[in-house]
Structure 1
């Protein structure tokens, strides 16, 4: 199944690298239960989608008979292949079509030369990708986001045209405009308090294009609870060892949604919260989610699981909860 197609061009020399040639995810999956480990035969199809001159990498499990699609989005310390490992493949095995994307600056997506993407571009890219998917067929779509990707699902749902999404699932919903959220998820309190104002000033100058390691901006050391897995993550420049621009960080920390939670009525919401999350514990998502009252909001705790969940029974519980949620969103019973 692990083949590559290119929806933008047939020029092989212009194709970015493929996960089939990357070792990092193969090393990481050794820390997952055996049932979730992919082989070359069971890995997803790799595609590329052209967006505003950027080459966006997609991991897809295509299933034209599936009643719904699940689009998977990483956080600021992960990538699309890592989403395929824990959700893309198992949800595909349950009969859903899944596609995991690498947003700008992460995974194997190639950013347009000379550009400095911001978090706003992340949101716009996903909004446009959902429109692209809808132009191909009219099946319901549920958007999942891990870590920072959780709040991105909300930002996308708030901005996208009504009816774009049947539901959103987040592993966290962190409003970085909240001082408590910033301080508890940043690398340290000084970074959260002093660094953010300085970053906002720098972002408006040519210094906004300078790169900064996410491991120093955030509590990346808490990405996984297994020390061996953390060693793999922290050597992977396509995920946890990535550097992002000052401009991206500034917009990520200050982004205001198109619709505030009190007025959000686009679709149902599911939080799949790892119970042993040492980076973004449950209490950080509660203030934001408690403000959403016009659509159903449900929380499922993933027992024994860390921020990037590698542990059972949390992994199975996550898979079951999301599969149930997607099915209910697709038939309209989740409302």
Structure 2
């Protein structure tokens, strides 16, 4: 990885980590190993938390204001300590992943990469895999599970269907972006201008990513997360994506919603609008007290870990 970016050489995540409780900070015994998965021409960065004795593995997905390292910062230490194996992947445009040169990726490609990564992980290791997603990563895990029967469980901090206008209004920075900007992105994509890009904070309500002003400032200085840029093609595909299985048809695996109670970006009703038609699998909701969209706060952080550990142990018993 000498010629590729690494988190070992990046300072931004360390500043963000300082706002999390010290018990979540990496230690010599509980810290990720940086790897690269070369796939579709991308050099996809992985934060790998190996545990050969683990019975269940968790793949962690970021959203559009975070990256894989920020997933490791939330769940790596507590879940690794609890006996699980984890890996966080950076999707094209985020973290330390280096996209294919000259290639314009979109949200649909994110879904396919995530599904293909599940297949990749199963190639030489048959231990069951569950998915975790924060923000848009929650919907991503659902979309992946809809096309990949190998997923044994889905954990999301929120689930957004951007085809619902009220959800788009909540997710976008303002009504201009949701009612005019998003449709214009689709027009630009159709006109062959999908390569044009803008900072994600212009279209999304990035000001509500965290509820601590100093932490927000640190996130906004990070070009690999909250200050990342996305293309018109990406925004077009994200706002119109049609899943392989709609919620009413979803029958792959159980779902756990760990909803931050103080989420000012995607409050509970956003996920309820997504999940209300899911009736073929078990759906459980756990509210995280005092926690924001990217949670920095207790008791919500502890409640999140407790709920995920119980969820993964259920999968373990069924394996």
Normalized against structure 1, the TM-score is what? 0.93
Deviation for aligned residue 1:182: 0.2
For 1:73 and 1:186, the matched residues in 2 are separated by 20
- What's the CA shift string for 1:26-81, capped at 9, x where partnerless? 10111111111225664310000011110000001101110000000000000000
For 1:231 and 1:39, the matched residues in 2 are separated by 26
Matches within 5 A, 1:268-287: 268-287=254-273
- What's the CA shift string for 1:82-138, capped at 9, x where partnerless? 000001221111100000000111000000001000001100000000000000210
Conserved in 2, the CA contact under 8 Å of 1:75 and 1:147?
A: yes
Normalized against structure 2, the TM-score is what? 0.98
Q: Find the partner of 1:223 among 181, 189, 209.
A: 209
For 2:168 and 2:124, the matched residues in 1 are separated by 39
- The CA RMSD over aligned residues, in Å, is 1.2
Helix, strand or coil at the partner of 2:311: helix
Does residue 145 of structure 2 align to residue 157 of structure 1? yes
Matches within 5 A, 1:1-335: 12=2, 15-39=3-27, 42-160=30-148, 162=149, 164-332=150-318
- What 5-or-longer segments of structure 2 have no aligned partner? none
For 1:197 and 1:306, the matched residues in 2 are separated by 29
For 2:118 and 2:316, the matched residues in 1 are separated by 16
User: CA 1:204 to 1:67, structure 2 compared with 1: closer, same or farther past 3 Å?
Assistant: same
For 2:47 and 2:97, the matched residues in 1 are separated by 11
Number of positions where the alignment pairs a residue of Structure 1 with one of Structure 2? 319
Q: Which residue of 2 aligns with 1:9?
A: none
- What 5-or-longer segments of structure 1 have no aligned partner? 1-5, 7-11
For 1:218 and 1:202, the matched residues in 2 are separated by 18
For 1:291 and 1:304, the matched residues in 2 are separated by 28
For 1:69 and 1:38, the matched residues in 2 are separated by 19
For 2:42 and 2:49, the matched residues in 1 are separated by 22
